């Protein structure tokens, strides 16, 4: 095809302006661009390197490959759905690169407009001259702004002419302007007005060179029109019609509403938008959407009617045609789609068969030669013509494979049915059974299938089974099913169809071609996450994987392909084929392959899980070198910790607790090695299986396995779900250990297995007749105290025991039950059960002399971590899993990071065979909860860019981000650091965020208390440099890490978390008594801060059913001066460091230390370290622990507004755009933000002159709405589901719903504005301080809560358990009469918590140790089943 003037004009500018031009060749015939570039290359002004890509090749990947080497890239192509759809995948990455996409269109813009939303600038050219000028403008924009520009231009006709610039002026014009900051340094503006300005300044510069106008719109026609017609397309309607104005659009993006409205005069009553989009598949066309929304936003008193239409070929239209069209439009309803001019012929749209690049046929030919008509390429290019573009995707191919496999199962059933038919001939009978026996053999199944079909036809069999066989004869040969794809599938693996294929367990083979040449591997953008598909697939454990290179070892490829075909399950064959273009000579490919293989960049290997099952080595290395990552995988080290390196004997323990999916492949190898070892001992085997949510049952199971080994048994241990019922049936002796979840359910890692058992039992099958088993269940007989709930106790263990018996297994030891309520907890029951096991196995007489290996505890992990390093850095590099090693997840807490997973989809992910959706919670350290507007803006951005788009104000006055995936962790921490904040010690066994009363009215005191809190926080910070090293890439200590010292904490840090609060009476909003250490500000006669009363020993965490755990409020130790405060905090912490219980984390908080030592002894120990005594405590009084909402003016005349943020969640919701609103406030606010410990927010320090602005924004975003009930304003909830790993029930998502209902009861009784402090947490850990609320709910199981009553209104008294299990109807039934009585009988000023005690519902709690005394209600309100 010879190039049109438009193509010539565009090619010339692209050639002169760019360093590299990527040109996609056409699907049919020669490319007009290629001809133009060839002609240009012959000129003396050689500029760009032009790379032709075969039609259908991935242009996006090619552009990304060149982007780092080119100052300006251009891409040229004729619009074709295949070329453009492929490109679409890469546009998010390409949009911030200096790239111009020149897309030539015919009479339909539909294909090109698909790219519209992904790029910031889009120009449209109708004529050759406009195409020339826009090409220059687009290059200028892309070059100076480092941004991608889409230029869509009409192919035009051969008679057009255009004026062109001389060659030298093009590069000179571009280079005359200094380039802006690159987009990686500068956030791209998404604001259309800002983008328009950028366009205008580039256009102005271009105009000054061209001396021709360049405008977003060309307007002509009437000046005061009643109708305005927008056109986007080739047809320019030049006829003058009275009252009609035409707007020809040349700039499609950015298109701010103001610019559109500027083209619609006030006289306009009708707007028609005509676009050349004949194959647009969505309801609304792009320009129409822009125009209609601009008019909608205009708030015009009588907006014009807007109509949409398709613009056909308008070249032959006369004025009267257009008038007739306008009349038609006036009579149509506004929603009708109009059309002007004839449409182009529909043949233009037929999808063409994609071109398979010449080199790639090297592999496809091998497949054809090996399998000939047995070969089925599931996503063959030929399918595109009939199935559309999706036919080449892995999702499509997988769907086909699934369908085929199901049909073949039907075919097998039909053969079996016919086999049972006594009327068929002996010959057919023999053929049927031979085919059945050879159905998985490629050659035999084909031959026998053909004979079978011939015989059935010859005998004229008409039975349904025979007919079915004929109908499905295509599937008689065992097909070799292949999906062929490119390395583009290696990006975003987890979300791709490739992942589904790998995880499907279907018998499909995947051939992935990697074409990146070795020498250009580093020019591929390092920020793109191209994952190692081989490693990824191997981690699934049951996938055949081979890495091959045909130009290195032909025979290895053959072997791999044949092994993949034979493997019964998914296979992945990676095939290396480095080439840049179709013209790349074979010698070049050979050279690149050799370099890649010899250097280890592309190792040749095969991983065959089938061999492992036969007891052979599954891995064959076919080249000399192996990649480090692969080596790490094979060594089963997977970047395991320095802990492992320094203590190799505990490595197996740690590996044993890795995530199930990551562990899968490794487990097989480990099991094999271990079995080999044990086989030599010739001991009876024992398989230990456990199901455990919290880790207790896992520990017991592992200890059991260790003891078994020490008795010479050949023992293996794994989770219940890791074994199938079929595999279990092959085991001889199996011991199960299970805990129980929720209401008698199985723990997560045993649920699939128990479901399979239930299904078999329902069918009446008995597959386990060879299995001997014993079950030990662990539960709490008091967890469900009511008689009717008693059967939930140890239900999982009991059910499993019964089910195994039902399925034919033989019990070799009676069911053992461990009860948390026994004197020694579950150990009491276990000690009786274990000897029965040894007896039954005949090893009870063996004396075990060696000490059992010490279990690994947090204390071991801390001391071996080299000051909190562990292997966090290595774990971050490991792209094969979204998780970190278990020991590292204990350490990251000290860095303010918790590993979590989305519990809402945990079951679904497990069913899919993929690891949980891991995400991390990041907590910021922000003493006193004060942050500046600039910091707020960064937090807001972090939530969007790295988290789940929301963030949370916590009960410790700081920010928490959820859902941060591993690869975003480091950048999120670095961004937090950019805001001059950090996350060090926000969690972990250290002093955590120090909190301070917010009291806006007492500005001066707040400042002093805040300064004090900051000093305490800084003083007690860990000194390890690991944080800076791992997250900020700063090596602060020369040499190795061992030079770190922790003067306060030592290598073991604290036994447990440590919390400090500073309260400023009369508001106890920080719940000072709930903290390990509290400082209560004492004000002198002059209103100055005289010092603090110091409290110690508060803490909230409890374990359900474990009465050794209890909440406690702090005791007042005495008074200290402000100057003494920091030292006192330190010494209290040191006494706890040295005396806290390090053997039992559940008993390790300071509260237990004080109760164990006695308060006086504890105080004496602190005073001894201080060298002086506390002064006597001074009087103080609190009157509440909730926030005061609304505006308050402080002593310094500054204004403060406390917003109500329900449960602290900063997010945009319908009608409540709080996140956006706070962002807008942060942009103009000159004061600060203060988080409250009740999870609300104060816009603080607003100057009087700024009040109107802030008030305006608060009103605009409804942040000033405080019209909530007293109950809601006094409520708070922790996060719980879906992110918190400890949650047993909903909290943050449920409390607002419960309040809706309790609020109604309050309203009915006239208590709408009365404050009742109600709190909820998802587990007894107590993050929202529930034990100090007047009424509280603590999660036990989904929908079930512990109910507590009687807390003091200002946090001075703990509440007490009123009911051990309540569901919502019970909560409402309990509260209804109670609230009514409160309304009628309360004394003046009496709070609800005090009332329920006086009215005899519940006894007061006088101390932590007495917390359980008299629980369950008083007198007539006592629950009968309470066993306290
Ligand atoms: S109280 Fe429990 S459920 Fe709630 S956030 Fe804390 S640990 Fe998670």
Distance from the alpha carbon of residue 960 to the mean position of ligand 1, in angstroms: 13
Would you state the pLDDT for residue 28? Answer: 59
Would you state the pLDDT for residue 181? Answer: 42
Distance from the alpha carbon of residue 49 to the mean position of ligand 1, in angstroms: 59
Distance from the alpha carbon of residue 753 to the mean position of ligand 1, in angstroms: 29
Distance from the alpha carbon of residue 55 to the mean position of ligand 1, in angstroms: 56
Supply the residue whose CA is at minimum distance from atom 6 of ligand 1.
1327
Rg (CA), the chain: 37
Would you state the pLDDT for residue 585? Answer: 72
Would you state the pLDDT for residue 687? Answer: 93
Which of 693, 750, 743, 752 minimizes the C-alpha distance to 718? 750
Distance from the alpha carbon of residue 1072 to the mean position of ligand 1, in angstroms: 20
Lowest-pLDDT range, 808-812, 1044-1048, 1232-1236?
1044-1048
Would you state the pLDDT for residue 529? Answer: 41
Distance from the alpha carbon of residue 1321 to the mean position of ligand 1, in angstroms: 6
Ligand 1: atom nearest CA of 1284 is 8
Which of 724, 727, 731 minimizes the C-alpha distance to 770? 731
Average pLDDT over residues 854-863: 80
**Ligand 1 neighbourhood includes 1284 CB (under 6 angstroms):** yes
Q: Are strands 1077-1083 and 1060-1063 parallel, antiparallel or unpaired?
A: parallel
**Ligand 1 neighbourhood includes 935 CB (under 6 angstroms):** no
Cβ contacts of residue 339 below 8 Å, gap of 6+? Answer: 309, 310, 311, 312
**Ligand 1 neighbourhood includes 714 CB (under 6 angstroms):** no
Q: Is the dihedral of CA 138, 139, 140, 142 positive or negative?
A: positive
Mutate to test the pocket of ligand 1, among 953, 958, 1111, 1279 (most ligand atoms within 8 A of CB): 1279
Rounded Cα distance, 873 and 1026, in Å: 10
Ligand 1: atom nearest CA of 1279 is 5
**Ligand 1 neighbourhood includes 954 CB (under 6 angstroms):** no
**Ligand 1 neighbourhood includes 1323 CB (under 6 angstroms):** yes
Q: pLDDT band at 654, cuts 50/70/90?
A: very low
**Ligand 1 neighbourhood includes 232 CB (under 6 angstroms):** no
Lowest-pLDDT range, 602-611, 935-944, 1346-1355?
602-611
Q: pLDDT band at 1158, cuts 50/70/90?
A: very high
Q: Residues 787-813, buried b or exposed e (16+ Cβ, 10 A)?
A: eebeebbbbbbbbbbebbebbebeebb
Would you state the pLDDT for residue 645? Answer: 39
**Ligand 1 neighbourhood includes 1100 CB (under 6 angstroms):** no
Would you state the pLDDT for residue 115? Answer: 84
Would you state the pLDDT for residue 432? Answer: 92
Residue 670 has pLDDT above 50, yes or no: no
Which of 592, 590, 593, 618 minimizes the C-alpha distance to 605? 618
Would you state the pLDDT for residue 843? Answer: 82
Average pLDDT over residues 137-152: 93
Mutate to test the pocket of ligand 1, among 987, 1325, 1344, 1348 (most ligand atoms within 8 A of CB): 1325
Q: Which of 54-63, 307-316, 486-495, 1243-1252 has the highest mean predicted lDDT (pLDDT)?
A: 1243-1252
Ligand 1: atom nearest CA of 1339 is 3
Ligand 1: atom nearest CA of 1322 is 3
What tens digit of pLDDT does each residue of 1095-1132 get?
999 999 999 888 889 999 999 999 999 999 999 999 99
Lowest-pLDDT range, 168-172, 267-271, 796-800?
168-172
Average pLDDT over residues 196-212: 87
Supply the residue whose CA is at minimum distance from atom 2 of ligand 1.
1323
1081 φ, ψ to 5°?
-65, 135
- Rounded mean pLDDT of the chain? 85
Q: Is the dihedral of CA 219, 225, 230, 236 positive or negative?
A: negative
Lowest-pLDDT range, 457-466, 497-506, 1038-1047?
1038-1047
Ligand 1: atom nearest CA of 1330 is 1
Would you state the pLDDT for residue 1086? Answer: 87
Lowest-pLDDT range, 245-259, 368-382, 539-553, 669-683?
669-683
Q: Residues 1000-1022, buried b or exposed e (16+ Cβ, 10 A)?
A: bebbebbebbbebbbbbbebbbb
Would you state the pLDDT for residue 32? Answer: 86
More confident residue, 583 or 1369: 1369
Average pLDDT over residues 1056-1085: 96
Which of 188, 100, 80 minimizes the C-alpha distance to 142? 100
User: Residue 47 carries which DSSP code?
Assistant: -
Q: Which of 475-484, 577-586, 658-667, 1074-1083 has the highest mean predicted lDDT (pLDDT)?
A: 1074-1083
Distance from the alpha carbon of residue 1243 to the mean position of ligand 1, in angstroms: 27
**Ligand 1 neighbourhood includes 1324 CB (under 6 angstroms):** no
Distance from the alpha carbon of residue 1324 to the mean position of ligand 1, in angstroms: 7
**Ligand 1 neighbourhood includes 1280 CB (under 6 angstroms):** yes
Mutate to test the pocket of ligand 1, among 899, 1283, 1287 (most ligand atoms within 8 A of CB): 1287
The DSSP secondary structure of 776-814, one letter per residue, reads EEEE-TTTS-SGGGGGGTTHHHHHHHHHHHHTT-EESSP
Residue entry with tokens 């507004």: 1201
For the chain, what's the residue count? 1428
Q: Which of 498-502, 870-874, 1240-1244 has the highest mean predicted lDDT (pLDDT)?
A: 1240-1244
Q: pLDDT band at 179, cuts 50/70/90?
A: low
Residue 1277 has pLDDT above 80, yes or no: yes
Q: Catalytic residue positions?
A: 923, 992, 1057, 1059, 1278, 1284, 1323, 1327
**Ligand 1 neighbourhood includes 99 CB (under 6 angstroms):** no
Q: pLDDT band at 618, cuts 50/70/90?
A: confident
Lowest-pLDDT range, 387-401, 417-431, 1045-1059?
387-401
Would you state the pLDDT for residue 496? Answer: 55
**Ligand 1 neighbourhood includes 1338 CB (under 6 angstroms):** no
Tokens read off for 1254: 């802030």
**Ligand 1 neighbourhood includes 1326 CB (under 6 angstroms):** yes
Ligand 1: atom nearest CA of 1328 is 1
What tens digit of pLDDT does each residue of 1360-1387 get?
999 999 999 999 999 999 999 999 999 9
**Ligand 1 neighbourhood includes 1276 CB (under 6 angstroms):** no
More confident residue, 1158 or 97: 1158
pTM here is 0.56
Lowest-pLDDT range, 839-848, 930-939, 1170-1179, 1260-1269?
839-848
**Ligand 1 neighbourhood includes 1295 CB (under 6 angstroms):** no
Residue 6 has pLDDT above 80, yes or no: yes
**Ligand 1 neighbourhood includes 203 CB (under 6 angstroms):** no
Residue 190 has pLDDT above 80, yes or no: no
What tens digit of pLDDT does each residue of 332-341 get?
887 788 888 8
Q: pLDDT band at 643, cuts 50/70/90?
A: very low
Residue entry with tokens 């405590």: 1177
Would you state the pLDDT for residue 1042? Answer: 43
Ligand 1: atom nearest CA of 1281 is 3
Mutate to test the pocket of ligand 1, among 1322, 1331, 1339 (most ligand atoms within 8 A of CB): 1322
Distance from the alpha carbon of residue 1126 to the mean position of ligand 1, in angstroms: 30
Residue 183 has pLDDT above 50, yes or no: no
**Ligand 1 neighbourhood includes 722 CB (under 6 angstroms):** no
What tens digit of pLDDT does each residue of 985-1035 get?
999 999 999 999 998 777 788 999 999 999 999 999 999 989 999 999 876
Distance from the alpha carbon of residue 988 to the mean position of ligand 1, in angstroms: 15
**Ligand 1 neighbourhood includes 1287 CB (under 6 angstroms):** yes
Q: pLDDT band at 492, cuts 50/70/90?
A: very low
**Ligand 1 neighbourhood includes 1286 CB (under 6 angstroms):** yes
More confident residue, 622 or 836: 836
β-partners of residue 928 are: none
Distance from the alpha carbon of residue 1284 to the mean position of ligand 1, in angstroms: 6
Distance from the alpha carbon of residue 923 to the mean position of ligand 1, in angstroms: 14
Ligand 1: atom nearest CA of 1287 is 3
Average pLDDT over residues 914-937: 92
Give, in order, the Cα–Cα distances in Å from 1060 to each of 650, 1091, 1100.
36, 16, 13
What tens digit of pLDDT does each residue of 702-748 get?
999 988 888 878 788 899 988 888 889 988 899 999 999 877 888 98
β-partners of residue 100 are: 74, 149
Residue 344 has pLDDT above 80, yes or no: no
**Ligand 1 neighbourhood includes 774 CB (under 6 angstroms):** no
**Ligand 1 neighbourhood includes 1279 CB (under 6 angstroms):** yes
Mutate to test the pocket of ligand 1, among 953, 1295, 1321 (most ligand atoms within 8 A of CB): 1321
Would you state the pLDDT for residue 79? Answer: 87
The DSSP secondary structure of 941-953, one letter per residue, reads HHHHHTSSS-EEE
Distance from the alpha carbon of residue 1291 to the mean position of ligand 1, in angstroms: 9
**Ligand 1 neighbourhood includes 1282 CB (under 6 angstroms):** no
Q: Are strands 810-811 and 772-779 parallel, antiparallel or unpaired?
A: parallel
Distance from the alpha carbon of residue 1286 to the mean position of ligand 1, in angstroms: 6
Q: Are strands 951-953 and 959-964 parallel, antiparallel or unpaired?
A: antiparallel
Average pLDDT over residues 792-806: 94
Q: pLDDT band at 1317, cuts 50/70/90?
A: very high
Would you state the pLDDT for residue 527? Answer: 41
């Amino acid at each position: 095809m010879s190039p049109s003037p438009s193509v010539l004009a565009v090619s010339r500018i692209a050639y002169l302006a760019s360093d590299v031009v990527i040109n996609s060749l056409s699907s049919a015939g020669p490319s007009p661009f290629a001809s133009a570039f060839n002609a240009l290359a012959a000129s003396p002004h050689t500029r760009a390197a032009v790379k032709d890509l075969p039609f259908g090749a991935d242009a996006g990947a090619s552009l990304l490959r060149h982007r780092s080497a080119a100052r300006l890239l251009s891409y040229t192509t004729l619009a074709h759905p295949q070329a453009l759809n492929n490109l679409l995948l890469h546009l998010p990455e390409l949009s911030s690169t200096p790239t111009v996409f020149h897309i030539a269109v015919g009479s339909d813009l539909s294909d090109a407009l698909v790219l519209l939303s992904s790029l910031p600038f889009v120009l449209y050219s109708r004529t050759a001259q406009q195409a020339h000028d826009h090409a220059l403008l687009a290059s200028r924009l892309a070059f100076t702004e480092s941004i991608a520009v889409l230029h869509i231009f009409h192919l035009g006709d051969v008679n057009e002419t255009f004026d062109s610039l001389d060659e030298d002026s093009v590069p000179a014009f571009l280079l005359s302007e200094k380039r802006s900051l690159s987009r990686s340094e500068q956030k791209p503006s998404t604001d259309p007005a800002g983008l328009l300005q950028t366009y205008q300044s580039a256009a102005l510069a271009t105009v000054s060179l061209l001396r021709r106008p360049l405008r977003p719109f060309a307007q002509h026609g009437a000046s005061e029109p009643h109708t305005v017609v927008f056109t986007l397309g080739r047809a320019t309607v030049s006829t003058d019609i009275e009252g009609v104005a035409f707007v020809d659009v040349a700039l499609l993006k950015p298109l701010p509403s103001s610019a559109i409205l500027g083209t619609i005069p006030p006289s306009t009553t009708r707007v028609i938008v005509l676009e050349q989009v004949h194959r647009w598949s969505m309801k609304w066309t792009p320009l129409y959407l822009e125009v209609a929304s601009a008019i909608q936003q205009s708030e015009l008193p009588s907006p014009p009617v807007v109509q949409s239409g398709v613009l056909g070929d308008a070249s032959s239209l006369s004025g009267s045609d257009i008038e007739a069209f306008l009349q038609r439009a006036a009579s149509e309803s506004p929603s009708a789609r109009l059309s002007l001019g004839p449409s182009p012929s529909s043949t233009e749209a037929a999808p063409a068969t994609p071109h398979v690049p010449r080199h790639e046929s090297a592999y496809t030919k091998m497949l054809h030669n090996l399998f000939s008509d047995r070969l089925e390429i599931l996503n063959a290019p030929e399918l595109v013509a009939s199935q559309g573009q999706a036919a080449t995707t892995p999702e499509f191919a997988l769907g086909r494979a699934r369908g085929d496999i199901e049909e073949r199962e039907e075919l097998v059933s039909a053969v079996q049915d016919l086999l049972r038919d006594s009327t068929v001939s002996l010959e057919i009978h023999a053929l049927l059974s031979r085919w059945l026996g050879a159905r998985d053999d490629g050659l035999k199944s084909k031959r026998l299938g053909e004979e079978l079909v011939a015989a059935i036809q010859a005998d004229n069999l008409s039975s349904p089974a025979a007919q079915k066989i004929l109908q499905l004869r295509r599937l008689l040969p065992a097909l070799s099913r292949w999906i062929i794809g490119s390395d583009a599938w290696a990006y975003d693996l987890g979300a791709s169809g490739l992942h589904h294929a790998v995880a499907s367990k279907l018998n499909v083979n995947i051939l992935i071609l990697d074409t990146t040449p070795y020498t250009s591997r580093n020019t591929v953008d390092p920020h793109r996450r191209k994952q190692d598909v081989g490693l990824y697939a191997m981690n699934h454990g049951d996938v055949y994987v081979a890495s091959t290179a045909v130009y290195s070892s032909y025979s290895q490829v053959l072997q791999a392909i044949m092994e993949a075909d034979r493997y019964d399950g998914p296979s992945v064959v990676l095939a290396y084929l480095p080439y840049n273009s179709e013209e790349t000579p074979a010698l070049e490919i050979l050279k690149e392959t050799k370099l890649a293989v010899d250097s280890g960049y592309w190792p040749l290997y095969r991983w065959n899980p089938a061999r492992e099952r036969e007891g052979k080595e599954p891995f064959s290395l076919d080249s000399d070198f192996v990649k480090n990552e692969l080596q790490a995988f094979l060594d089963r080290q997977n970047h395991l910790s320095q802990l492992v390196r320094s203590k190799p004997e505990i490595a197996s323990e740690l590996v044993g607790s890795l995530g199930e999916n990551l562990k899968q492949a490794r487990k097989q190898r480990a099991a094999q090695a271990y079995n080999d070892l044990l086989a030599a001992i010739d001991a009876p085997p024992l398989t230990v299986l456990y199901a455990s949510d919290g880790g207790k049952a896992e520990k017991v199971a592992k200890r059991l396995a260790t003891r078994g080994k020490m008795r010479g048994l050949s023992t293996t241990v794994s989770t219940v779900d890791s074994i199938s019922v079929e595999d279990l049936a092959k085991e001889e002796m199996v011991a199960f250990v299970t805990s129980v979840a929720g209401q008698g359910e199985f723990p997560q890692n045993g649920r699939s297995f128990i479901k399979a058992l239930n299904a078999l039992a329902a069918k009446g099958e008995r597959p386990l007749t060879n299995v001997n088993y014993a079950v030990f269940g662990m539960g709490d007989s008091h967890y469900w105290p009511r008689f009717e709930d008693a059967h939930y106790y140890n239900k999982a263990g009991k059910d499993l025991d019964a089910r195994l018996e039902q399925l034919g297994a033989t019990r070799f030891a009676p069911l053992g039950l461990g009860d948390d309520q026994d004197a020694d907890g579950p150990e009491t029951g276990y000690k009786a059960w274990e000897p029965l096991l040894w007896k039954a196995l005949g090893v009870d007489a063996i004396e075990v002399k060696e000490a059992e290996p010490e279990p690994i505890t947090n204390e071991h992990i801390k001391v071996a971590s080299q000051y909190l390093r562990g292997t966090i850095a290595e774990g971050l590099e490991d792209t094969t899993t979204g998780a970190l090693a278990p020991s590292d997840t204990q350490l990251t807490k000290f860095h303010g990071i918790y590993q979590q997973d989305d519990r809402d989809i945990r079951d679904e992910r497990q069913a899919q065979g993929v690891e949980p959706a891991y995400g991390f919670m990041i907590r910021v350290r922000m003493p006193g909860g004060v942050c500046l507007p600039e910091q707020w803006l960064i937090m807001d951005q972090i939530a969007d860019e790295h988290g789940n788009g929301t963030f949370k104000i916590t009960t410790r006055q700081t920010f928490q981000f959820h859902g941060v995936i591993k690869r975003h962790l480091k950048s999120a921490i670095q961004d937090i650091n950019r805001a001059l904040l950090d996350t060090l010690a926000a969690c972990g066994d250290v002093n955590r965020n120090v909190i301070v009363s917010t009291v806006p009215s007492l500005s001066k005191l707040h400042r002093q208390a805040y300064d004090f809190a900051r000093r305490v926080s800084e003083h007690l910070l860990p000194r390890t440099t690991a944080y800076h090293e791992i997250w900020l890439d700063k090596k602060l200590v020369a040499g190795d890490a061992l030079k770190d010292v922790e003067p306060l904490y030592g290598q073991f840090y604290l036994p447990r978390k440590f919390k400090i609060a500073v309260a400023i009476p009369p508001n106890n909003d920080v719940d000072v008594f709930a903290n390990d250490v509290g400082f209560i500000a004492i004000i002198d006669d002059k209103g100055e801060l005289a010092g603090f009363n110091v409290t110690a020993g508060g803490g909230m965490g409890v374990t359900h059913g474990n009465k050794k755990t209890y909440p406690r409020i702090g005791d007042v130790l005495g008074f200290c001066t402000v100057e003494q405060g920091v030292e006192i905090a330190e010494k209290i912490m040191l006494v706890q460091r040295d005396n806290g219980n390090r053997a039992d984390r559940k008993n390790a908080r300071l509260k237990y230390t004080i109760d164990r030592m006695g308060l006086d002894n504890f105080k004496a120990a602190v005073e001894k370290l201080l060298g002086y005594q506390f002064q006597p405590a001074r009087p103080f009084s609190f009157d509440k622990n909730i926030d005061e909402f609304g505006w308050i003016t402080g002593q310094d005349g500054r204004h403060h507004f406390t917003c109500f943020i329900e449960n602290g969640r900063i997010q945009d919701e319908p009608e409540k755009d709080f996140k956006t609103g706070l962002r807008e406030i942060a942009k103009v606010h000159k004061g600060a933000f203060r988080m409250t410990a009740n999870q609300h927010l104060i816009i603080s320090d607003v100057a009087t002159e700024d009040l109107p602005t802030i008030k305006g924004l608060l009103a605009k975003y409804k942040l000033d709405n405080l019209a909530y009930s007293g109950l809601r304003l006094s409520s708070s909830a922790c996060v719980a589901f879906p992110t918190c790993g400890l949650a047993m029930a909903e909290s943050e998502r449920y409390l607002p719903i419960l309040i809706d209902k309790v609020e109604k009861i309050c309203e009915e009784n006239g208590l709408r504005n009365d404050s009742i402090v109600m709190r909820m947490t998802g587990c007894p850990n107590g993050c929202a301080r529930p034990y100090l609320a007047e009424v509280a709910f603590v999660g036990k199981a989904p929908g079930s809560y512990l109910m507590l009553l009687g807390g003091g209104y200002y946090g001075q008294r703990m509440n007490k358990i009123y009911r051990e299990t309540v569901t919502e109807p019970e909560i409402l039934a309990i509260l209804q009469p109670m609230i009514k009585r409160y309304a009628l009988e309360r004394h003046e000023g009496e709070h609800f918590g005090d009332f329920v005690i006086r009215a005899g519902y519940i006894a007061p709690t006088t101390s932590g140790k007495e917390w359980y005394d008299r629980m369950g209600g008083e007198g007539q309100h006592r629950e009968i089943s309470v066993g306290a």
